[in-house]
Amino acid sequence: MKRVVVTGLGAITPLGNTVESFWQNILAGKSGVGLITKFNTEKYKTKFASEVKDFNAEEFLDKKELKKFDLFTQYAIASSDQAIKDAGLDFTAMDNDQLAEVGVIWATGNGGISTFEQQLAEFHAGDGTPRFSPFFIPKMIVDIAAGVISIRHKLRGPNYCTVSACASSNTAIINAFDTIRLGKATVMIAGGSEAAITEASVGGFNAAQALSKRNDDPQSASRPFDADRDGFVMGEGAGALILEDLEHALNRGAHIYAEIVGGGMAADAYHLTGTPPDGIGAFLGMTKALKDAGISADKIDYINAHATSTGLGDLSELHAIKTVFNDLPVIIGATKSITGHLLGAAGAVESLISILAIRDSIIPPTINTKNLDENIPEGLNIVLNEAVKKEINYVLNNTFGFGGHTASTIFKKYKA
C-alpha cells in the first residue's frame, strides 16, 4: 500500500486562527475558555465555553456568500483554505483528471445547529406559515461543508462527511488515509469543524450532566484526571489536514510535516453517553491502530488523550491505556485542558497538536490538574503544567464519542 504524508495544516480555534498562533498558545498553556458571548446565559447552569475569537469570515468569503453558510461551514472553508495554501497546492493549474484524484472527507458532530435553532425560532414566532429560508436545509445538513470545499476548488475525488460524535474528525482522517493508501485518491483534504455553542446545545449537554458548572473560575474548569473535575468545557472551531500520496508529495517538492501510519476504530457497545470502566472500546481502537501501523506499543512516545475532564470518561481511557502500554514510559497529555472540547472537530485539532509536537520535539502541558484522581492506575506518566522537550517519533491521538465510537490515529516523524 502507498505511504501517506501530511503536507498542509489549517486551524480556526479558541486559541488562534492560524496554525502557529494556535500552537504557541498551546505550548504556553493559555486557556481558551471564557464566558459565553453568543447568547444570554442567565438561566443556564453553565455560562462559559471555549469560543473562537476575532474570526473574520470576510477574509475568506464575500458578504453574499456568507448568507449561504452556517458558521461551522465558514470555519471549514477558512481552515481548509489555510491548509491548501500551506501545502502549496494550486488546484487551478490541475486538469480534470488530476482534480478527480483530490477528495474531501470533512467531519462534524452537530452541523448547522445554530441555523436550525434560528429558523425554528423564527417559525414559531410567526403566524404558523412555513416561511423558511431557501438556504435552511443546505446550511444545516452535516455533509455540506465537505461539499462546499469540493465546489470551491472544483475537486471531484471522494467527497463525504463522517459523523461519529466527538470521534468524527479522527474518523475522517482515518478514512482519508485509507482512501489514499488504497490508491483511490492522490490528495485528500480531511478535518472537521464545529460551531455548537448555542442555546439548545449547551442546554442539552447540561441536561445530560456532561458540562462543567465551574462558573466562578471558567479557565480552570477543564481539568482532566483531576479529583475535582465536574464535566467537559464545550469548544468550537476547525482543524484541516492535507494528506497526500508520498510519491506525489515528493514529485512536487512538498514540505512534509509527518507521516500517518495507522488508524483504528472500534466501539464500546455499552451505553448512549457513558464509557465502560475497563475502556474496552478505547483498548480496541488503540490496539487496532498499532496493528495497522505495524508497530509495538513501546514505539509510542506521546499519547494525546481524549481526556475530556469527565468523571468516568477519563478513568475509562486511562484504564485502557494501562492495559495497552502497562509500565512503558509513554507520556500522556490532555490538551482539552487548554482548548476545551471541540466536539466533532476535536480529533482534527488534536491531530495538528500531535503533528506539531513531532515537528518541534515538544509535548504540550496538561493545565488545571492539581490533584490527580486517586483511582488513576499506577505507573502512568502524565505531563502536567509545563511542556516537556522530547524527541518524538510516534504519537497516538485518541478520540471517543457518544454512542461508543472510538478512533485512534498514529502519526510518525517522516523519514525518507
Catalytic residues: 166
Q: Give the C-alpha separation, 370 to 382, whole Å.
A: 12
Q: Tell whether the torsion through CA atoms of 90, 53, 399 and 336 is positive or negative.
A: positive
44 neighbors 274 (Cβ within 8 angstroms):
no
Phi (first) and psi of residue 89, to 5 degrees = -90, 135
Which three cell numbers, joined as nine digits, stand for 193? 469543524
Question: 32: buried, middle or exposed (CB in 10 Å: 19+, 13-18, 0-12)?
Answer: buried
307 neighbors 334 (Cβ within 8 angstroms):
yes
Q: Give the C-alpha separation, 401 to 271, whole Å.
A: 11
- Report the half-sphere exposure of 147 (CA within 13 A, side-chain side): 10
**DSSP letter (8 states) at residue 412:** E
Residue 340's nearest CA partner among 36, 5, 4, 21 is 36
40 neighbors 33 (Cβ within 8 angstroms):
no
Which three cell numbers, joined as nine digits, stand for 65? 456568500
3-state secondary structure of 278: coil
3-state secondary structure of 281: helix
3-state secondary structure of 136: helix
> DSSP characters for 190-234?
EEEEE---SHHHHHHHHHTT-B---TT-GGG---TTBTT---B-B
